[in-house]
Amino acid sequence: MKVSIIGATGYGGLELLRFLHNHKEVVEIGLFTSSEEGTVFSDKFPHLTNIYNQPLLKIDYDVLAKSDVVFASTPSGVSSTLFPPLVNLGPKLIDLSGDFRLKNLESYESWYKKKPAPKEVVEKSVYGLTEWNEAAIKKSELIANPGCYPTAVLLSILPLIKHQLIDPSFLVIDAKSGISGAGNKPSNTTHYSEANESFSIYKINEHQHIPEIEQAISMFTDTETTITFNTHLVPMTRGILATSYAQVTEGVTQQQLVDCLTSTYEKHPFVRVIQEASSIGTNRVKGSNYCDIYVKLDERTNRATIIGVIDNLVKGAAGQAIQNMNVQFGLPQQTGLQLVPYFI
Amino acid sequence: MKVSIIGATGYGGLELLRFLHNHKEVVEIGLFTSSEEGTVFSDKFPHLTNIYNQPLLKIDYDVLAKSDVVFASTPSGVSSTLFPPLVNLGPKLIDLSGDFRLKNLESYESWYKKKPAPKEVVEKSVYGLTEWNEAAIKKSELIANPGCYPTAVLLSILPLIKHQLIDPSFLVIDAKSGISGAGNKPSNTTHYSEANESFSIYKINEHQHIPEIEQAISMFTDTETTITFNTHLVPMTRGILATSYAQVTEGVTQQQLVDCLTSTYEKHPFVRVIQEASSIGTNRVKGSNYCDIYVKLDERTNRATIIGVIDNLVKGAAGQAIQNMNVQFGLPQQTGLQLVPYFI
Amino acid sequence: MKVSIIGATGYGGLELLRFLHNHKEVVEIGLFTSSEEGTVFSDKFPHLTNIYNQPLLKIDYDVLAKSDVVFASTPSGVSSTLFPPLVNLGPKLIDLSGDFRLKNLESYESWYKKKPAPKEVVEKSVYGLTEWNEAAIKKSELIANPGCYPTAVLLSILPLIKHQLIDPSFLVIDAKSGISGAGNKPSNTTHYSEANESFSIYKINEHQHIPEIEQAISMFTDTETTITFNTHLVPMTRGILATSYAQVTEGVTQQQLVDCLTSTYEKHPFVRVIQEASSIGTNRVKGSNYCDIYVKLDERTNRATIIGVIDNLVKGAAGQAIQNMNVQFGLPQQTGLQLVPYFI
Amino acid sequence: MKVSIIGATGYGGLELLRFLHNHKEVVEIGLFTSSEEGTVFSDKFPHLTNIYNQPLLKIDYDVLAKSDVVFASTPSGVSSTLFPPLVNLGPKLIDLSGDFRLKNLESYESWYKKKPAPKEVVEKSVYGLTEWNEAAIKKSELIANPGCYPTAVLLSILPLIKHQLIDPSFLVIDAKSGISGAGNKPSNTTHYSEANESFSIYKINEHQHIPEIEQAISMFTDTETTITFNTHLVPMTRGILATSYAQVTEGVTQQQLVDCLTSTYEKHPFVRVIQEASSIGTNRVKGSNYCDIYVKLDERTNRATIIGVIDNLVKGAAGQAIQNMNVQFGLPQQTGLQLVPYFI
């Protein structure tokens, strides 16, 4: 397979390369850029010395069109114009940004404050939450790879909503992310001395992943709901842990909650249902494509605490993108993705 | 004033010393220990070289009785037996542990898994949430200094509950703490290589601060409620940020929420109502006795996000204890506590 | 005393404010800026809400001239032009940058790559290494406050060179600093995700503190030497630890080395001679004006390892600047500086 | 290949598993323990859930003897007794501890404060610095895998000593390590709140890697020298950066220094000669088996600064051990080791 990456210089792009380097079906990787043509990639990223010494290439549709798959790992508002000309030209397209995720274009415009992608292209796109949309992904030409937060949230709560074990009408989701989620562009928020040793909240009630989560709940469980969703910044590089809270349906037991998760994912290699709360932590999935999930019924309140944990750059971005590529090409989902979590 | 500290070797004790060193009314500080008698304090804690070079003293009631105030900064289950003999002997008593906080002894036993303090002593104790209980603190002999989480939570939500601006029936509190909250005893959970770069949840639905928060809501707002409360571990040393969620009473506006907080605390030097979400972060209060609070109405859902931020070791422990001491002795609350937050 | 600060928005400026807030002789603090006139200081730095709510002022020499003391905490190349017009106008001047440190203007130009300050002003300036230059500081109008690295290095090695206990001809100094030393301007080097969890070296053999250290060795010990000096970046916010290596003069013992340090500093409140290697660490001085020093003779090689530890923003910048101000005004050196190290 | 690991519960053991999981020649891995027989490995290390769900096995020589290779990743003083009975029984033996590294048994006893391994077994052992000892490793039965610090130091300085480009008589090595080097046992030194945000020095002039480095310099360059070597603790989990200083031989140029490194390692896939100082950092090798090296001549002093950077747990332990295993079995050195550095 010939792979092209647009936006290789971002963290999502670097993670694609980290995994694709050991993907046995990938024989060639082209790195494309809109602004740094000719730069030797390992000069810019010395950790890749002797691994990716090749120069960055100018974006050229003739060249891209000969790829088997093109990943876009670009900021919001870029692939909405870059990708449409490539549709139907041959390569499978996988977009890691939010540009093709929201089917409602007004919603996109209102949450992202950007012009949406063309309607017909958005309609063609398939939401790449692998474990919940495999059949559609298999046939897709253009995948809208899920956001990092939605991945952690949806994998943990969708089974319980679908089987009506929790009440979706008052769903509070409190999510926390490592700082790499903010990307590689320096800012005050990501300045070491000010981000280090501080925990903060951001985009209160305004995160663009809110409509994505609501849309996916609707899509996969036929449930319309308005969620409360907030995001916090954790002084660490990688990892997302999302804690969700909901009233549990009268009479439902802890065992039923766990069984629901277990049976949903028993055939899915990258979702692990965790039994002990003390076994949950972002370091348990760090560097890997796993999503660890956990549920606990609080009998005092009859409410459930539901946890989803991922590495935001892997299952929340590059890893899931490759997982989707594997599905598109009929490969085992795990191909190239079997790296063991770092832990320390 | 002559001050005695039992349990000076813990982080709460160290913080007491950090502030008392510059407290202009304090002329003498005795450091008492149950197990390390004779150890020169600065040998054990070299950062205190030339500041506290004195030896640790054996606990001796005759000596303690001559103090003006005795702080206990000991693990749960210690002051419940250490403090009762000192009641009525003269010194004001301030306990930083949970031993005298819960008026319901069965509740203590069930959440703490320890034998409670004697009923009559618990009844005598006054809950030291300074801003809400000043009159009682002024007359008190024994103060139960609030827990770190309850301080951050209560200061931010009590005004809104009291004025019925939020519905307390579905109150979800998602709290996050730096690792110093776990104390100074090494363990796997606090082992650097495993705690670093990981965000985790602990004591799901089982934290002993749950009954303390519920009791205080009842005490200060006459509202009985059962809360959902969870605690997470943040890879940083100091700081607590608690995010609370509740339905807002029909018709209440953002301005009313903010005004309620502002008017509640306008005379209170250590609670700051923050106007911008981007101004919230644990580094904004680090090392100081401030509690920063913030509220935001989400009009989509008519739910409020309410934030409380403290340094867990200061306003959540030693700082508030000294603030209470100041009140007991008729001093301005700020005496000795005007250290500026570190920020970086 | 009326104090003015130019460059209050940098980390040095923030630290000046942190200490001056509790300095009993300071009654007024003016915050001056070249570019953010009118900005309410606590809007820019919310941790100072209710502490420094005043607006930033435009730089105005008439106003500055009425101050008792003016601190400049600006980047290299700024005070060289800002300060000269203030000389002889009345206020004591204390510059935290390197602009007046090097007596040799060609050396300044070559190491700093900037135009030097006027010769006559540089000649007037007094090098503010408090413990070694107190008499001159007392009479000074313009203080060149030492660099952070030179402070840690010089306080630890000067006594041993002066008393000829070590051979200065092969002096290797390997220094390490927290990231706050890089200031508050975001860059790739200080971007959290890339600075976190990485240790690196920078400015190899090219750090502008090299000529400052060599000049001070010459000035205070009459010894000319060419040092090897390198600087490393530690993934933490505050702190410098400098490890110096030198051959020990034949026959000199460990005890003589320690005694030399002890007797040099016995009257100096902010330099602590540490006895145990395990008691050394940047957290032992964090947030305080202490410099901890240590020496160890390796009998296998007859070489000494000499350690100096400071908080780069305090003894390495704002703290020492206030210490110098105290000396200039005949106050006890410790005034306003007795904050206890944080440790955790 | 059937692989057995004794001491799989340490960090070295975990890293062996992280790489061996994707080593295409390894078909079976047995995990052996002296004390936790029967524990399901993924219960103890939940990040390995669904990856290594197998129980820990009791150490049993009959079973071990059937392995192709046995790794010992145990504390000092364990493999010295565990390994001797396995010699000549069949499996290749690779010891990650220091027990077989020092040929001089008195030196071992004096630096390690433990009884040495039997003389005849130590004599049989081959020092596993892969790039410098490949021929001997190929034929070896028992490999003494190098220490983490010696690996970083030796790979960077050996070429320059061997080719007499630097003077080994005054060699100062200032090394810095992440905290994972201290292993997985909780202690005050590794307690998060005290290790975090602090940089410290430890084992001044007494680190047991000193004789190992001196022995290797002698072994590979026929040069006897007494080094100065110190070790510091960096508040991060992984990584070692060693900075070495030496006088450069009269007339030698920067280019000659670089060429010497480049030509030494041109055929060696895991040593990268770095051209720019700004490209050096522990995050550039994190999680990988690379050693990055760099040299810079300071023309002012005619001294060289020489840098070696590794991930202490990979090239400094498990990675190099697998590299040695590959050599022993005639496999390409990179087999199973081609993981890309994490960077972030």
B300: in domain: yes
- Per-residue model confidence (pLDDT) at position D45: 97
pLDDT tens per residue, range B187-208: 999 999 999 999 999 999 999 9
- Per-residue model confidence (pLDDT) at position D130: 98
**C193/A contact by beta carbon, under 8 A:** yes
D177 and D112 in one domain? no
> Which of B199, B239, B278 has its CB closest to that of A241?
B199
Using an 8 Å Cβ cutoff, are B86 and B67 in contact? Answer: no
- Per-residue model confidence (pLDDT) at position C175: 98
Query: Do the chains contact at C201 and D235, CB–CB below 8 Å?
Result: no
pLDDT tens per residue, range C305-318: 999 999 999 999 99
What are B107's two structure tokens? 């509740």
Q: Work out the angle at residue A304's Cα, subtended by the Cα atoms of residues A300 and A306, and round it to the nearest 5 degrees.
A: 145
Q: Which residues of C touch D200 (CB under 8 A)?
A: 241, 280-282
Confidence of residue B34 (pLDDT cuts 50, 70, 90): confident
| Amino acid identity for residue D203 in this structure | K
Using an 8 Å Cβ cutoff, are D173 and D213 in contact? Answer: yes
D343: in domain: no
Residue ending a domain, among C124, C159, C179, is C124
CA distance D310 to B266: 55
Percent of chain A with pLDDT over 90: 99
- Per-residue model confidence (pLDDT) at position C216: 98
B163 and B123 in one domain? no
User: In this structure, what are the phi and psi dihedrals at residue A81, rounded to the nearest 5 degrees?
Assistant: -105, -30
- Per-residue model confidence (pLDDT) at position C35: 86
**A230/B contact by beta carbon, under 8 A:** yes
- Per-residue model confidence (pLDDT) at position B260: 98
C106 and C233 in one domain? no
CA C338 to chain centre: 17
D233: in domain: yes
CA distance D60 to C210: 60
Query: Do the chains contact at A186 and C184, CB–CB below 8 Å?
Result: no
Confidence of residue B141 (pLDDT cuts 50, 70, 90): very high
pLDDT tens per residue, range D114-127: 999 999 999 999 99
B71 secondary structure, DSSP code: E
Q: What is the mean pLDDT of chain C?
A: 97
C69: in domain: yes
pLDDT of B305 higher than 90: yes
B170 and B136 in one domain? no
- Per-residue model confidence (pLDDT) at position D52: 96
- Per-residue model confidence (pLDDT) at position D112: 98
Q: What's the whole-number mean pLDDT along residues A42-68?
A: 97
Given the residues A117, A142, A148, A291, the one annotated as active site: A148
Confidence of residue D34 (pLDDT cuts 50, 70, 90): confident
Using an 8 Å Cβ cutoff, are B154 and B130 in contact? Answer: no
Q: What is the mean pLDDT of chain A?
A: 97
Query: Do the chains contact at A281 and B199, CB–CB below 8 Å?
Result: yes
* Number of structural domains chain B divides into: 2
**D223/B contact by beta carbon, under 8 A:** no
pLDDT of B39 higher than 90: yes
We report the CATH number of the domain holding residue D49 as 3.40.50.720
B95 and B209 in one domain? no
**Residue A76 structural domain:** 2-124
Angstrom CA distances, B100 to B144, B158, B231, C54, stand at 5, 21, 22, 43
CA distance A15 to A71: 12
pLDDT tens per residue, range D80-89: 999 999 998 9
Provide the CB-side half-sphere exposure for D56 (13 A, CA): 22
252-281 in A: which are within 8 Å (CB) of C?
none
B175 and B90 in one domain? no
C318: in domain: no
| Amino acid identity for residue C174 in this structure | D
Percent of chain A with pLDDT over 70: 100
pLDDT of B35 higher than 90: no
Query: Do the chains contact at A170 and B170, CB–CB below 8 Å?
Result: yes
Strand ranges (E), chain A: 2-6, 28-33, 57-58, 69-72, 92-95, 126-127, 142-144, 172-178, 200-202, 228-234, 240-247, 271-273, 291-298, 303-310
Confidence of residue A336 (pLDDT cuts 50, 70, 90): very high
pLDDT of C147 higher than 90: yes
Strand ranges (E), chain B: 2-6, 28-33, 57-58, 69-72, 92-95, 126-127, 142-144, 172-178, 200-202, 228-234, 240-247, 271-273, 291-298, 303-310
pLDDT tens per residue, range A266-311: 999 999 999 999 999 999 999 999 999 999 999 999 999 999 999 9
CA Rg value for chain C: 20
Which of B291, B276, B30, B342 minimizes the C-alpha distance to B152? Answer: B291
- Per-residue model confidence (pLDDT) at position C172: 98
**D198/B contact by beta carbon, under 8 A:** no
Smallest CA–CA distance, residue B237 to chain D, in Å, is: 5
Q: Work out the angle at residue A44's Cα, subtended by the Cα atoms of residues A40 and A45, and round it to the nearest 5 degrees.
A: 110
Confidence of residue C227 (pLDDT cuts 50, 70, 90): very high
Q: Which residues of B touch D193 (CB under 8 A)?
A: 11, 179-180, 182, 184, 190, 237
pLDDT of C286 higher than 90: yes
C253 and C192 in one domain? yes
D286 and D221 in one domain? yes
Which of D48, D46, D44 minimizes the C-alpha distance to D16? Answer: D48
**B62/D contact by beta carbon, under 8 A:** no
pLDDT of A34 higher than 90: no
- Per-residue model confidence (pLDDT) at position C34: 85
C109 and C167 in one domain? no
CA distance C149 to C207: 10
> Which of B17, B49, B344 has its CB closest to that of C237?
B344
D120 and D154 in one domain? no
Q: Specify burial of residue C2 (Cβ count, 10 A radius: 0-12, 13-18, 19+).
A: middle
A243 and A289 in one domain? yes
Confidence of residue B326 (pLDDT cuts 50, 70, 90): very high
Using an 8 Å Cβ cutoff, are C275 and C261 in contact? Answer: no
B158 and B269 in one domain? yes
CA distance D83 to D80: 6
C335: in domain: no
D66: in domain: yes
Confidence of residue D40 (pLDDT cuts 50, 70, 90): very high
Nearest CA in chain B to C17: B340
**A46/D contact by beta carbon, under 8 A:** yes
Strands B240-247 and B172-178: antiparallel
Helix H or strand E encompassing D232: strand D228-234
A320: in domain: no
Which chains does chain D touch, 3 or more C-beta pairs < 8 A? A, B, C
**B193/A contact by beta carbon, under 8 A:** yes
We report the CATH number of the domain holding residue D284 as 3.30.360.10
